[in-house]
Structure 1
Amino acid sequence: MTPASPALPPVPPQAIASPRDDAALARLARDARADLARLNFPPANWVPPTTTPDGSPVLDVLVAGAGMCGQTAAYALLREGMANIRVVDRAARGEEGPWGTYARMLTLRSPKHLTGPDLGVPSLTFRAWYEAQHGDAGWAALHKVGRIDWRDYLLWVRDTVGLPVENGVSLLAVEDQGGLLRARLASPRGEETVWARKIVLALGRDGSGAPRWPEFPSLRRDDPLGAGRVFHSADAIDFEALRGKRVGVLGAGASAFDNAACALEAGAQVDLFARRSFLPQVNKSKWTSFAGFFRGFESLDDARKWRFYTYIFDEQVPPPWETVRRCDAHAGFTLRLGTPWTDVRPQADGVQVTTPSGSERFDAVIFGTGFDVDLLDRPELARYAGAIDTWANHVDPDEAKRNVEAARFPYLGSGFELRPRGEVHRNALASVHLFNWGSTMSHGALAGDIPGLAIGAGRLAQSIAKDLFVADADLHWERLQALEEPELLPTKWYVPPEQRK
């Protein structure tokens, strides 16, 4: 007789968004700006202006990407007194990052109390934002942060702090010339060239690569038969069009289950396939969320860094239990473990999927397979792709073969800057800072996950401040000598400059 399964705990109420109280948020914004003023924010800009040889202005920092990481990086730069910056994002307002686009979870997996985008200002925390609208009781009742709530909170922080974000502006390419970086930007107004001393690439989860598309013998990305039938979880998907259809999902992580849940809720039947015989059980990366790891990991030797993160990657991250239960709640959901796909063939009437057990037909398939890290996929860095150092050059070749994706991570410097494989492009690459998931092997999860975000943004801004000061040391020496703010002018002991001999 099969023993009865233990009763499962109820799933706490989850909401993708909560009601807005604009008046309460306006009051909180006033309080937050008062707190910032008490912290002397924004401080005066201390960086000497720079121009090109023909007199064109030069930005101190161009930040590409205005999602969670990009806007927090920009905020940190302003707090360090670097005001000559531009922040651009190719997406429309509210579509920066995944929250309002391809992220399909109801809530964040992170605990609700985590901070990061606030950079230590209590009135800028998510808790302050939520309590201002829903009170202490509302906060106590909240299980986890709604996905759209998080998006709207980030926009509120951006507006409250006064970040100069330009939406609809894409970074096309980066080149170096005369010790400066030349960036090509595109917007509905056309293309423009801007000059910068530093560029921060905060282009999101795929900002160091691209969506991971599995390779199959019969699948071509450009196959017209795949249009509307073969998707990656990062694609725009009309789930209502899948009502009454049979959908196959490949993957064992959060994005696979999130997309399966959306299809199920739209009225589809979903089979989710994974090659593993059981789902990942423990989120090992969660263990790293403490100050010692965040601050100390970058100082470890390469062997220890490699050991930590190849282990975490190998263990894999389980889908949140609430997301699994979201799928299990539907009679049309089937989880098929230990069943890899060996081929995918789009056809005129659907998609044929082959497994070791045979072939099956689906109306549509979704790859919930995450993102690759491979700078060769980034058009912004095409000029330098072959010159950028990666972890493959710092570990045993056999280790690199066993951990192909980890070996492709860029090997960054202490301030998130790219490093060259040789001397070519050394100065240019040192001026490009990678503040996204691609920095994980070198710095830990400081640019992508909420717990380490404040430490990461602070480290980035402080490193850029140091670099700019050192580069301008002689100008600062001249400024020091030229300073004339006589302290004793209001006293009888004041001595004019010409008499100080």
Structure 2
Amino acid sequence: MNTDVAIIGAGPYGLSLAAHLRERGVNFRIFGRPMGFWRDHVPGELRLKAEGFALDLFDPDRFFTLARFCEERGYPYTDVGTPVSAQIFAEYGEAFQKKYVPELRELLVTMVSGVAGDFAVHLENGETVRAGNVVVAAGIGSFPYMPLALQDLPPDRVSHTFDGISFGRFAGKRVAVIGAGSSAVDTACLLHQAGAEAFLCARRSQVLIGEPPRKVDRLKQLVSSVTKPRSGLGTGWRSRMACDWPDIFRLLPTGFRLLITRKHLGPAAGWVTGQVVREHVPILLNMALKSAVCRDDAIRLEFADTQAGCVRTLDVDHVFAGTGVRIDTVRIPFLDRALISAIRTEDSMPALSRNFESSVQGLYFIGPVAANSFGPLLRFAWGARFAARRLTGHLARGLAVRQAPQTAFAQQRFFGIF
């Protein structure tokens, strides 16, 4: 056996878990490009919607916070009210990796196969690592959703918002962005700033845009702390409960859990990019996309106007799908088909034990893929602390039991029990 634990993914969840395992002396390997999603799929100049305090990665002592990193580098920072750029967040994650996870191997995993207790982790360089446990912390990069109406357009005329980190080539072009969430609004903003004529097309009746923080007196702060308490997911009791009680969430009836996961903290844009779009980008509401075809060197989009009850068309040079992600275990590219078929799912996501273990013994999932089991907390970086502490404790205890001398009548340890 090469390692007791193999971690796949080097974003906030994978790095936080690795830092905790290292502190406990657990034998592990971790693979991936540090903060790769943030480098490859998020424009560096983009100001993130999350507040600064909610963008921490987590070492066991919670010492190397984003606040400390920004202080060391001379970057502006406040816990609340100073938007953090994706570039700074990625730099912070890379600094965290160098400090707490020097073992990281910057190699992609091409396949995971095997059985409980003996997984084969195949790497892009041809190497194979044997692991007793595998933790999938690969984020959302494999799950962009492209509407059916856009799937037949030429690849050079349509993009997902995951694909765009530079927009200069769209200067002077007419570009439609389909969607109403933060990725759609962010892309429309960046297109406008790059000199494109952007249009935001949403099937919803409104595009929700956050308001910039305002100074309030102490009495209002006190009242707000009770009526709308702050959490790593934002303000309000529902978000606070999602942060504080993920174990209680996991015990809720399946249908109720899935409904909360889908509905809570739905599409909404941050105030920095939202203000630009509100002032400078046409927002076309109640527009349900029906078709998209190339015609006379342009793309003709056809929408059903659900309010007016008619059909509207828009001719553009390029289309961005700001339609988010649809997580589906089947779409995880590096999992062997036999493993995928053995994973019990709920609404296409793995159904997990309280220790993040799937129905395949020794195969764990953390991050957004775990949201159906633990709630909205796991969709955000703030959930990395809960996942890292819980899973580290579980793995460390299990490995200690396995490695300790056992009598003939020692009580057996069972994995994967829900």
- 2:320 aligned with 1:366, yes or no? yes
Q: Displacement of 1:334 after TM fit?
A: 0.5
Instruction: Verify the 8 A CA contact 1:69 1:447 in the aligned structure 2.
Output: no
Change (3 A) 1:346 1:60: farther
Q: Which residue of the partner structure matches residue 65 of structure 1? A: 9
| 1:388 corresponds to which of 343, 368, 389 | 343
Report the alpha carbon displacement of residue 385 of structure 1 after superposing the two structures with TM: 2.1
Which residue of the partner structure matches residue 262 of structure 2?
A: 313
Structure with greater contact order relative to length (CA < 8 Å, sep ≥ 6): 2
Q: CA deviation at 1:163?
A: 2.8
Matched, 1:108 2:81: no
Q: Which residue of 2 aligns with 1:202?
A: 137
Task: Say yes or no: does 1:251 pair with 2:200.
Answer: no
Q: How does 1:297-446 map to 2 (within 5 A)?
A: 297-300=246-249, 302-304=251-253, 306-311=255-260, 313-314=262-263, 316-330=266-280, 333-347=281-295, 349-356=297-304, 357-381=311-335, 382-391=337-346, 407-419=347-359, 429-446=360-377
Which whole-Å deviations, capped at 9, do the CAs of 1:240-273 have from their partners, x for residues lacking one?
Answer: 1111110011000000011111111111111111
Determine helix, strand or coil for the equivalent of 2:143: strand
> Tell me, which stretches of 5 or more residues in structure 1 are unaligned?
1-50, 52-57, 392-406, 420-428, 478-501
Hey, what does 1:86 align to over in structure 2?
29
Structure 1 pair 261–411 and aligned structure 2 pair: CA distance change class (3 A): same
**Residues 80 and 445 (structure 1 numbering): CA distance in 2 closer, same or farther, change over 3 Å?**
farther
- Structure 2 stretches lacking a partner, 5+ long: 212-227, 305-310, 409-418
- Partners of 1:313 and 1:282 lie apart in 2 by 20
Contact map agreement 1:104 1:259 (CA 8 A) in 2:
no
8 Å CA contact 2:351, 2:358 repeated in 1 = yes
Q: Please tell me whether the aligned partners of residues 246 and 374 of structure 2 are also in contact (alpha carbons under 8 angstroms).
A: yes
Does 433-442 or 172-181 show the bigger shift? 172-181
Tell me the TM-score normalized by structure 1. Answer: 0.69
Greater C-alpha Rg: 1
Residues of 2 paired with 1:119 and 1:231: CA distance?
A: 36
1:451, CA displacement in angstroms? 2.4
Question: 1:88-167 maps to which residues of 2 (within 5 A)?
Answer: 88-89=31-32, 91=33, 96-99=36-39, 101-103=41-43, 106-114=46-54, 116-119=56-59, 121=61, 123-134=63-74, 139=78, 143-167=82-106
- Work out whether residues 185 and 273 of structure 2, in 8 Å CA contact, stay in contact via their aligned partners in 1: yes
Contact 1:263 1:269 in 2 (8 A): yes
Among 386, 391, 408, which residue is 1:460 paired with? 391
The 3-state SS of whatever aligns with 2:123 is strand
Aligned-pair identity (%): 23
Q: Which one-letter code corresponds to 2:342 in the other structure?
A: A
Give the AA of the match of 1:72. S
Query: Are 2:117 and 2:362, in contact at CA under 8 Å, matched by a contact in 1?
Result: no
The alignment's TM-score, normalised by the length of structure 2, stands at 0.82
2:287, 2:303 within 8 Å by CA — same for their partners in 1? Answer: yes
Q: Residues 219 and 450 of structure 1: is their aligned pair in 2 closer, same or farther, counting only changes over 3 Å? A: closer
In the alignment, the residues of structure 2 paired with residue 171 and residue 115 of structure 1 have an alpha-carbon distance, to the nearest angstrom, of 26
Judging changes above 3 Å, is the alpha-carbon distance between structure 1 residues 280 and 139 closer, same or farther for their aligned structure 2 residues? closer
Q: Which residue of 2 aligns with 1:273?
A: 201
